[in-house]
Amino acid sequence: MKRDAETRRLLTAVAEAAKRSLMTAYLVGGAVRDRLLGLSSTHDLDFVVEQGSALELARLTAEELDASPPVLFPRFHTAQVFLPPWKLEFVDARRESYAQDSRKPQVERASLLEDLQRRDFTINTLAEELESGRLIDLLDGRRDLQRRLLRTPLDPDETLRDDPLRMLRAVRFASSLGFSLESGLEEAVRRQAATLWGKVSPERVKVELDSILLSPLPANAIILLDRVGLAQQILPELEASKQVPQDKVQASNLFRHSLVTLQRAAEFLPNPVSPRERYAALLHDLGKIRTMREEGGMLHFHGHSVAGAEMASAILSRLRSSGEEIEEVSFLIRWHMLPAQYAPDWSDAAVKRMIRRLGPLLKATLRLSRADIYGIERQEHDFWHLVKRIEAFGEEKTQQVASPLNGEDIMALFSQEPGPFIGRIKEELVDAVLEGTLEDSPRAARAYLRRKYLS
């Protein structure tokens, strides 16, 4: 795939700056890999300086591009130039060594080969000489691209031990690119899975897990996480879900059902801006672990959506998710059964109340519910009946229905102080308007309340 004009302009600027200062620099990593795979370019460009100074080349490049001065990290021999949405990262060719309990490396200058050997996978060791554009492949990375294989430049145990986050990166690359893990790498991940939390922060784990869930085939990624022992470290609740029987299409237990729901959710919203709906799909039924009861020879899961919302909140808190994300995912799980409970004999008012209950997350809740009931013919039929009714009522119009009287009006009418009673009356008035039994006007609302409560 040819590079776009802006990418070529940036590469030319770096090449010119390097040439004028007699430096030897290479484009490395993802930008080279993705071009060879025919993928669209990212906005991250990584450069290795073998002869010269990465910090100085970053400064000269920023001047060449009329960008802000670079952000410098002298201790690590790196610098970054930001030209939104682009980020250009410069690093001296270096070798790294790690203390046993730290991901922060000790850094010293090295050759290009030594720099490439310290990287995670051979497909990320491909380099491109800036001046000539010649491909540099010192570790057989191009062959691994062709074989669609993830392999480490050095012994996999050593590579993973230096940075355990690479175990999650292996799953991410495998799921996003459709690659396989070389057998030695997979075995090494399985051996070292339990070390993940020793040197990697929950925030970094969450970033990788987000990317894994956003891959085109997230269910396959979770299966791989499970196979190599990482799922048990990050989401041990999934292991427990294997013990919960299910009578679902393509799923004999809760773990399998969660994967089917996750993959369906990915198909219904293939390019989400955040992984929140995919977390909700993966975790939506975990409450069944806590609520499973046998009654009359049948399994029941009363209240599982409420329990599941609580479990999802705890899981995402453990991963240091934002409060907003926790709230949204928990909401989706808490209410994912509501659309599935719909029957065609629901009143118009009941449908409108559901629209208001789900609020701005109506469409997301419908997508999750649809993924959850996949393959259940009667429920799928009722689901589309519900969608048609929602469209007929108008989501936005229904959401905008408000109480004809505000809190002060109600307090004055009842001679009451502020309290929960006021909110209940407002909701009652909204319900009456939705049902069509009350005209949407203050005069009619006062008359309604006087007849019911004050006569």
pLDDT per position as a tens digit, 175-197: 999 999 999 999 999 999 999 99
Digit-coded pLDDT (tens) for 334-370: 999 999 999 999 988 889 889 988 999 999 999 999 9
Of 38, 49, 43, 35, the residue nearest 10 (C-alpha): 43
Of 85, 322, 297, 307, the residue nearest 203 (C-alpha): 322
Ordered by start, the domain boundaries in the chain are 5-147, 148-234, 264-399, 407-454
Predicted pLDDT at 455? 73
Residue 422 has pLDDT above 60, yes or no: yes
Dist CA 136 CA 134 (whole Å) = 6
Cα angle 45-46-49, degrees, rounded to a multiple of 5: 135
Share the mean pLDDT of the chain: 92
Of 105, 93, 127, the residue nearest 11 (C-alpha): 127
Residues in the chain: 455
Residue 414 has pLDDT above 60, yes or no: yes
Predicted pLDDT at 268? 95
**Structure tokens that stand for 149 in this block:** 């294989």
Digit-coded pLDDT (tens) for 275-302: 999 999 999 999 999 999 988 878 888 9
Residue 223 has pLDDT above 80, yes or no: yes
The average pLDDT across 142-161 equals 97
The average pLDDT across 231-240 equals 96
Dist CA 141 CA 257 (whole Å) = 37
Question: Bigger pLDDT: 95 or 66?
Answer: 66
Residue 19 has pLDDT above 90, yes or no: yes
Residue 401 has pLDDT above 80, yes or no: no
Residue 250 has pLDDT above 70, yes or no: no
**Structure tokens that stand for 345 in this block:** 């004999």
Dist CA 82 CA 80 (whole Å) = 6
CATH number of 148-234: 1.10.110.30
Predicted pLDDT at 37? 94
Predicted pLDDT at 102? 58
Does the domain at 5-147 match CATH 3.30.1310.10? Answer given as no
Predicted pLDDT at 368? 97
The average pLDDT across 213-225 equals 96
Of 86, 74, 85, the residue nearest 14 (C-alpha): 86
pLDDT band at 79 (very low <50, low <70, confident <90, very high): very high
Predicted pLDDT at 430? 81
φ and ψ of 249, to 5 deg? -65, 130
245 forms beta bridges with: 253
pLDDT band at 255 (very low <50, low <70, confident <90, very high): very high
Secondary structure of the chain: what % helix, strand, coil (to 5)?
60, 15, 30
Predicted pLDDT at 98? 61
**Structure tokens that stand for 177 in this block:** 């690119």
**192 to each of 26, 41, 99, 101, 355, how far by Cα in Å?**
33, 33, 17, 14, 48
Number of DSSP helices (H) and strands (E) in the chain, helices first: 26, 15
**259 to each of 240, 244, 374, how far by Cα in Å?**
14, 14, 12
> By percentage, how much of the chain surpasses pLDDT 90?
71
Dist CA 435 CA 347 (whole Å) = 8
Could you tell me if 44 and 81 are in contact, meaning their C-beta atoms sit under 8 angstroms apart?
A: no
